[in-house]
Amino acid sequence: MSRSITLGQYYPASSVLHRADGRMKLILTVVFMVMCFLCKSLASFALLLLFTLGLVFASTVPLKIVLKSVRMIIFILIFTFVLNIFFTPGTGEPLLAFWIFRVYKDGIWKAFFMSFRVFCLVIGTGLLISYTTSPVDITHSIESLLMPLSKIGIPVHSFAMMMFIALRFIPTLSDDAEKIMTAQRSRGVDFSSGPLMGRIRSLVSVLIPLFVSSFRRADELAVAMECRCYHGGEGKTSLHVMKVRFSDFVILFVFLAVAAGTVLLNGIKFGYSM
């Protein structure tokens, strides 16, 4: 009955990036994003590309899978490119001019840089988070990073628990949905043909039973959790202790060094720089 449902894009392996502490990876993602926006010259973009390729290599995730995530944003890439080509004010003679559009050399460079930036951003953050960190680890890491907020009364543990349980129940509820759909089909509901509105309406006959069953599950789960001594996050320990290891700091250092490198390379005004 239960199929494998891969949440997000987690690619199980045991690379350096997989083994790195989840919290560190969240921080590194921020560093990486900043790095992408620090790049302003051809030289620094070259470094960024090299570094991103290095990340792909270090994660042991096949390049084909990584490029899949780029496919999803291809429209955004094209949009960014076109927008920048046509709407970058430039100096000197326009290369191309028609109606209200003027294409300058600056515009082409900038369009190229901006799309490239988004491209690296998606691959880099994907590698650091979705591909190498399991959803459960992400939840734990976010909880751990946000823990200081609980001091000012934000129920961090409860939110993390909610997220955790939501993840846990996705396969269960999808099984439920499938069973209900089969049951309704046997009663003559048609989900796959007919006008679109009719098909959408027929989904109501799945959603309502699904709601009812998930509420019942929630109720039973709450009782089961209470019976297993759950009483919120207070005093709760963990089987797996998150520990920031020396290697995590090495990775952080590499990231910071590359970030510094991009800033330095911004000084090389070869080609074009923003």
Q: By the criterion CB under 8 A, which residues form the site for other proteins?
A: 2, 4, 136, 164-165, 167-168, 171-172, 217, 220-221, 223-231, 235-241
- Spell out the residues 6+ positions from residue 61 whose beta carbon is closer than 8 angstroms to its own: 11, 13, 15, 127, 131, 132
- 90 vs 171, beta carbon nearer other proteins: 171
- 197 vs 239, beta carbon nearer other proteins: 239
Burial class (CB in 10 A: 0-12, 13-18, 19+), 224: exposed
Find the shortest distance in angstroms from Cβ 135 to other proteins: 8
Find the shortest distance in angstroms from Cβ 6 to other proteins: 11
- 200 vs 224, beta carbon nearer other proteins: 224
Find the shortest distance in angstroms from Cβ 143 to other proteins: 13
Find the shortest distance in angstroms from Cβ 124 to other proteins: 27
- 2 vs 192, beta carbon nearer other proteins: 2
Structure token digits, residue 7: 């949440």
- 106 vs 175, beta carbon nearer other proteins: 175
- Cα-Cα-Cα-Cα dihedral of 86, 89, 95, 99, to 10°? 60
Phi, psi at 216, each rounded to 5° = -65, -40
| Cβ atoms of residues 252 and 25 within 8 Å | no
Find the shortest distance in angstroms from Cβ 161 to other proteins: 9
DSSP 160-171: HHHHHHHHHHHH
